[in-house]
Structure 1
Amino acid sequence: MTKPAVEFEVFDDEFCLIYRPRDGTSWVHDRFARGEDLVVKGTFHLTLRDLVEDGSEGENSASDDDSVWIGVDDDRLVFAIATGEGEYFRFKPEVLEFNTQVLLHRDTRPNWKWFSAERNVSILRIMQSLDLERIVIGGPDPDAIPISEYERLLHQFPTPHELRRYVQARVGTVIRQYTEPAVDAEALLNAYVNKRTAVTVPNLENPFRQFDIAKYAFALDRLRAMLANEAGTSEAQWQLEIVEIILLLNPRYIKAFTEVRLLDTDNSTWRRIDILLVDASGNVDVIEIKKPMGKPIMLPARYRDHHLPMRDLVGAMGQVTHYLRYLNRWGLRGEDYLTQLLGADLPAGFRIQITNPLGIVIMGRCNTLSEVQRREFEVLRRDSKGIVDIITYDDLLARLQAVLDQLRIGPALSAAPATLQAE
């Protein structure tokens, strides 16, 4: 009959370790007689004081694996390693050789792998090294590690093979600075760890989902109302409300400033930017907002067999391009000036940076464009991208609707679907 070398049972409200030495029990008693501890699996430090049952010695057959003993008689030693305390068993500090309190819920059914990793590494001691106030496994306590999560931890605990991969990767990092090894040790380590580790992502979005749905739904309704009653909104009011929607759709921007002065070094005069955007790193971009006035973004008439952008769009793009040129030529002096000018409305110590600023033009409609006009508008938009980004009001409507639809569907982050089989 095969019996494990180490197992656990409960006797008289004590959590006990049952140890079946593969070479009989006499050598254990000899250790105790010399005043030495018995260390089991590199985790449990046992003495004669912990011994509560001494099985009779009989014939046995040794096994190469210390985890399994094949014997005729159940020659075992039983040690009390934890005592009952409410819903938990509290481990004796001297058994674990550290003072951090360790509690194990009574409903758990552990084996030796719950406490000892390969090569006799104490899992509890590694947890204790994190300077925890106490270690609680299972049960209702607020700081308890759920049993399912603890078992997942055990499954992901580094193996000797993983440790070898880690050492190879560290060595490979140094060697790659001077030569190119044939084996990519870092890639092998990452592949092995990814295979063993179950990835869990906290759903940060879920607690705020309903709030975000209400926020984007309000912005979408407001934009629709503005477009339906364009004549009833002043140019200044229109710009301010559209900027709010832009900030909502682009979290990188933290502030928008209106009527910002900048120096035209070519003509030694001052110009005014309608709206200057500042991102979280202090970089600035320029945005130009025009009321759509019901105009399509492309002219219906053709010139040399091509549709041209409407004149207002060409003018807005040219205006923004000049602003970008003024900012770039202004350089460090401009950064100092803008930081001092706008600093009161920005976080303390925040500094404005002029680093290849981009332009954004928001104007016109594209919902009535023909297929040919739409294609030629897309060519224009992509040709100018990287300098000026052209956004129509129908683009804004579509973006708000897409964000809203995704929020209503569920989390933004999910696993990719499996590869479809070819039919």
Structure 2
Amino acid sequence: MIEFDIQQTDVALDYTPENDAWWVLRELKTHHQVRISRAFTFRDSDLISRPKEDEFGDLEGGVFRFRFAKRKEGYFRIAGRILDMEADVLIADKGIPLERKLFVAERNIGIFKRIAKVKRNGGDIIVGGDRDGAIPLDAFRELLGRFPNTGELNRYAAARVEAIVGEFFDGMSDAREKYEAYLSKRKSSVSKKPLRQESLLQAEIDKYVYLRDTISAWLKKAEAYSERDWQEMITKVILLLLPKYVAVLQNVQISDFYSSPDKIKKRFIDLCLVDAGGNIDVIEIKKPFDNSVLAKTRYRDNNLPTRELSGSIMQAEKYLFHLSKWGVEGERHLTKRQAKKLPKGLQLRITNPKAIIILGRDRSTKHSEALTPDQMFDLEVIKRKYANMMDILTYDDLLRRLNNTIASLTDRKAEIG
């Protein structure tokens, strides 16, 4: 058991071993440090007090007290080494209680170590208070609430196994059944007579309803799939979603002439699309994480893109740059390597290539609220900034486009009916 004792200038951690207390002293003597509660690492110099031995050689009381943090200027400063990381952690001394679950999630996942891995810049990790770069307390509480508990981790593992095994044996039966029903419906409308426009419109409506329902079903089970799974699934329907394209190319090798001046570097694009004229574009498909488009913190009343969105944009820009610089030689090289995946005789063209990025959600889910009108406006500003070279879509954008397409086709069919 651990408890935090907060004083005017310091914070101490009191540790009471459940069984044998001697192991703490053995660790300190042998290794000059000890790991407490699978979360905190203390040196022998951090030890303030220890239990005394009684006449039988037992440790009376069994309480070890360690120096945990300094209290100064409204913050508790915790040395990074105590949390097995380089950066120190500063936690506001008001508004959030010190307890173990503040530092460790289920299955002993170090919360601040995870934050340090994704933090853009080095330096201290600050929670609460009014310092620049601090994580707001509300955002930090939400972060803690979203760390999965043991039950969620078990369910996630079960869902992943079910998804993988189901794909192996059954091949996504729900989507297949819907698709077969759609194909069957289209077949029944075919006759020797020329198709009437109503039949064509209905076939299009059926296609887009199928796509919308399929993607909606996948989004309900988003946590069960990895990013590679999402790429595979979206690849199955992308040519129906974007009918201007006729081929999908995976793991496309391109040449980078700029990163290393003395040699040509190989780079790989996960997915490319080819239109009917042979023009090649790039597509980035990310797992639909909640809150992955706009950051929690604001800058001068402006909503900023998240690291995932900024990183995806930068990655796509580099792919477009290297493709464009490759020129005619690259067109010949790619056409030769990808010939088996292209319609016969189609030549690839690198003509002002564009990018499509699909990521994140902007509508409410079980983990997050919908973006506010103000956030949606700022997101649209970000999209339009890059509109000349890429199309940035959330998964909810995809669903809205499908719904609008279905509504438009339905109205047109009604007008001629």
TM-score by structure 1 length?
0.48
TM-score by structure 2 length?
0.48
More helix per residue: 2
